[in-house]
Structure 1
Amino acid sequence: MSIHIAVICSSDFADRLKQIEKELPSIRLDYYLYRIPQDSAEIIRTIKPCDAVFFSGSLSYLFAKKEVECLPIPSHYLQQDETSIATTLLSITKKHEIPIQKISIDLIEPQIINSVLGDIGFIFLPKIYQIDETSDVKAIINFHHNLYESNQTSLAVTSMQLVFEKLQQLNIPVIRMIDPRSSIIKGILETKNKAEFAKSQLAKIAVGYIQFRANNLPTESDLLNFANFFKSELIEIAPHLYMIYSTQGDVLNIFDYLTEKEWINISSKPFKVAFGFGIDIQDATHNAKDALQFAKVNTAYIITDEKKLLGPYPHSVRQVQLQASEPKLAEIAKQTTLSPANVSRVIQFSRTHNSTEFTAHDLEVFLQVSRRTTERILKKLVDTGFAKIVGEEMTYQQGRPRAVYELNFPTYV
């Protein structure tokens, strides 16, 4: 299965990356274009389900950093490093024959250019404008324009597509900072590695304990509720203590989107829940036992493989409340004729599912509804363009192959 990466970049960078996509096997790229890097924060709210996000530069990443930190998937950005600076300067000396001191350049980390020129023995430096998240595009344009008009420079080098276009309109000689082909490929592959690592972490084993009071044991209905809730069989290891096996991803997803109502309705008897993550079953079991010591009545705690204590749940849960008044949710509900609650649950499924692709069975298990209801929901989403069929899988020797779906609207809000 390919890794699905959302690329946030300028149109120029997208055109360049599309030329080398064939060198990136098992990677699928979707492009989200900005005019200026500041737009990247808003773009984050529009990306569709994917495995990772890649920014074409550190500036666009900086502007979206707050939004990126809320994403449940990894991100990466292409750094403007010594290779990029050296390649750009080499291109200038070869094609333009302009002295370094007659160049104006905007970039994020001026010390890089100082280091590159110092290493090769250059005494003179170009005119430098340091960009940061507070930088104004007009100020950058004026910097290059004023230096050129006063005959202090003969060429401008910019890291921003919009600045490049504006300087061209002013008839100022300008080139874009060059991102070497090798650096772009390396950046995309590092993003892929981050996505695969995140998936592998979520697939690690988790051991859980569910403890009841000895004089207040659970009913069969209570045990069934826990088994359905954690999607795992309960193993009785004592008259009042049960063990379950799951994965880190499933456990974190359950608690991340847990509601008070779901938690209250899970059992008619008082209980404690504890989970442990670890590098193996023994380590995970040990952490689960330690976590159980922290749990109070009707609460849950987790101890990770890094010995971090998470909880108490459900009170510390990072809940995402999707109200019917939200424009996106209301619009999808209106067009599909699905209830806002069903749309909300589908979005919740997308955030917790470990792949951008899924089957009707995957959604059915999550929603805890009948196959017929699930297929009706999917049909309405497909008919209105909010989901699409991207393939099929044959699980058994006989019978029809299962359709494989992908949601076609933003779910990271």
Structure 2
Amino acid sequence: MDIRIAVLGSANFIDRLKNLEHELVSTRLDYYIYQSPIDATEIVKNIKPCDVVFFSGSLPYIYAKEASKKLPVPTHYLKQDETVITTTLLSVYFSNNIPIEQLSIDLIEPQLIQNVLEDIGQQKQYPHMLKIEPTFQLKEVVKFHAELHQSGKTALAITSIHAVFNALQDQNIPVIRMLDSKNFILKGLEDAKSIALLAKSESAKIAIVFIQSKEVIPEDTLKKIAGTIQANLVQSANHLYTFFSTQGNVQLALENNTVQHWIDLASAPIKIAFGYGKTVIEATQNAKDALPYAAENTAYLLTDHKELLGPYPNNKQQVRLKTNDPKLVQIAKETTMSPANLSKIMQFSRSHSSVEFTANDLEVYLQVSRRTTERLLKKLVDHGYARVVGEEMTYQQGRPRSIYEFSFPTY
């Protein structure tokens, strides 16, 4: 299955990347163009389901860092290094033949230029350098280059920011962008892909859940509990119920305060223990070790690193009965879906291990009938918020099942 990467970059960077996309194996890119790096903060809030978010540079990553923490997927950014600096300076030397002291350069880490010049034995002349800070207004960076050029101190500006490049061009000031080599960009994307694969691997690790009750828990209640973490009930004895799930599903359940939902479902007080591990035996033992810490209607988690976390619940419910987000209000209005159902569908997208899913996947998660699930999907498809991207045939008879993906931001 392909790894889907959401790429945030300037129009110039995106255009260049589109010409390189064919060299990426088992990778799909979704493009998000910003006019200014600060726009990345809002763009992150509207990213569609993906496996990793990739920023074209340090500055948009820094601006969007806080917003990115709310994403259920990892992030990565193209970090300038000595290779980028060397490539840019060589280009200037051969194409423009401008002395290095007549250059003005803005960048996140000025030390990189000093490192390159020291490595080649050039320590007498340095360019005019501006260390970019996230608190800067772009007009301050433009002013830095413009004043140096207008005073006759520089003949060429080198910028790391596309918006600054455009502004200086408008003022007829000679300027070039920092040059990211083809291999540098491709390596950055491969690194992002590796991070996504690692996150998937960690999310897929084994988790064992124990629920202990003083009374028998009804079968329909057990099924509802299992559905919230996409688990199987593997054992029940003496009012102790054992579920087999994954760390990704359990972690999302803890973040969404699903423990409180389980407590509300149970007719009698329950104790809950989670165990993570690289094997079923290790995860089971960790769950056993965590159980004695749990009091009635509380839960504890023992990780594979022997970290005891708890007591839970301690988070707010994520399923909302109303929403003030204008985009979600619009979707709910168009599809006539309740905000609660829409919120649950968004939670499903966050928890599902793949961008693609079937009606059965959604049915199991929502704990509703197939008919209800298909009705919800039809509403989303009819209004362009989901689409059919393929079919699968896992059995010999019957019709193939449609494969869907969402077409609206679910993070």
User: TM-score scaled to structure 2, two decimals?
Assistant: 0.95
Q: What displacement does 1:227 show? A: 4.3
Contact 2:100 2:125 in 1 (8 A): yes
Partner deviation per Cα, 1:142-181 (whole Å, 9 max, x = no partner): 1111111111111000001111111111111110000111
Q: Corresponding residue for 2:121?
A: 121
Flag the 1:225–1:148 CA change in 2: closer, same or farther, 3 A.
closer
Number of the residue aligned with 1:385:
384
SS class of match (2:147): helix
Deviations 1:346-367 (A, max 9, x none): 1111111111111111111111
Aligned positions of 1:11-90 closer than 5 A: 11-90=11-90
Q: Please give the residue correspondences for 1:304-319 in structure 2 after superposition, counting only pairs within 5 Å.
A: 304-316=303-315, 319=318
Amino acid paired to 1:290: D
1:13-57 CA distance string (max 9 Å, x none)? 001111100000111111111111111111111111111100000
Structure 1: distance between partners of 2:250 and 2:9 = 34
For 1:170, the equivalent position in structure 2 comes to: 171
1:201·1:249 contact (CA, 8 Å) conserved in 2? yes
In the TM superposition, what is the alpha-carbon distance from 1:342 to its structure 2 partner?
Answer: 1.5
* Contact in 2 for aligned 1:263/1:314 (Cα 8 Å): no
Deviation at 1:229, TM superposition (A): 4.6
| Cα deviation, residue 65, structure 1 | 0.5
Q: Which deviations, in whole Å up to 9, do the C-alpha atoms of 1:241-291 show, x marking residues without a partner?
A: 232221112222222223576233321122111011112223212221221
Count of residues in correspondence between the two structures: 409
Unaligned runs of 5+ in 2: none
Opposite residue 162 of structure 1, the aligned amino acid is: A
8 A contact 1:322–1:329 mirrored in 2: no
Give the partner amino acid of 1:285. Answer: T
Which whole-Å deviations, capped at 9, do the CAs of 1:82-122 have from their partners, x for residues lacking one?
00000000000010000111100000000000000111011
Amino acid at match of 2:12: D
2:249 and 2:77 map into 1 onto residues whose CA distance is: 28
User: Comparing 83-92 with 262-271, which one deviates more in the overlay?
Assistant: 262-271
Distance 1:303 1:196, change over 3 A: same
Which piece of structure 1 moves more, 259-268 or 46-55?
Answer: 259-268
The 5 Å alignment of 1:279-298 reads 279-298=278-297
Of 244-253 and 69-78, more deviation after overlay is shown by 244-253
Amino acid at match of 2:71: L
Query: One-letter code of the match for 1:156?
Result: A
Question: What amino acid sits opposite 1:90 in the alignment?
Answer: L
Which residue does the alignment assign to 2:133? Answer: 132
| Native 8 Å contact 1:225 1:267 kept in 2 | no
Structure 1, unmatched stretches of 5+, are none
For residues 14 and 223 of structure 1, do their structure 2 counterparts lie closer, same or farther at Cα, with a shift above 3 Å needed?
A: closer
Q: In structure 2, what is the equivalent of residue 401 of structure 1?
A: 400
Distance 1:42-1:270 versus aligned 2 partners, 3 A rule: same
Measure how far apart 1:221 and its partner are.
5.3
Q: TM-score, normalised by structure 1?
A: 0.95
User: Displacement, 1:224?
Assistant: 4.8
5 Å-filtered alignment, 1:309-348, equals 309-316=308-315, 319=318, 321=320, 323-348=322-347
Which stretch shows the higher mean deviation, 6-15 or 333-342?
Answer: 333-342
Identity of aligned residues (%): 55
Does residue 265 of structure 2 align to residue 266 of structure 1? yes
| Structure 2 residue matching 1:406: 3-state secondary structure | strand
Kept in 1: contact 2:358–2:401 (CA 8 A): yes
Contact 1:390/1:404 (8 A) holds in 2: yes
Change (3 A) 1:176 1:219: closer
**Any conservation in 2 of the 1:361–1:371 contact (CA below 8 Å)?**
yes
Matches of 2:333 and 2:115 in 1, distance apart?
A: 57
CA contact (8 A) 1:255 1:317 kept: no
User: In structure 2, how many angstroms separate the alpha carbons of the residues matched to 1:6 and 1:171?
Assistant: 34
Q: Which amino acid aligns with 2:34?
A: Y
Secondary structure of the structure 1 residue equivalent to 2:233: coil
How far residue 329 of structure 1 moved from its aligned partner, in angstroms, is 1.6
Question: Cα–Cα, structure 1 residues 37 and 274, in superposed 2: closer, same or farther, change >3 Å?
Answer: same
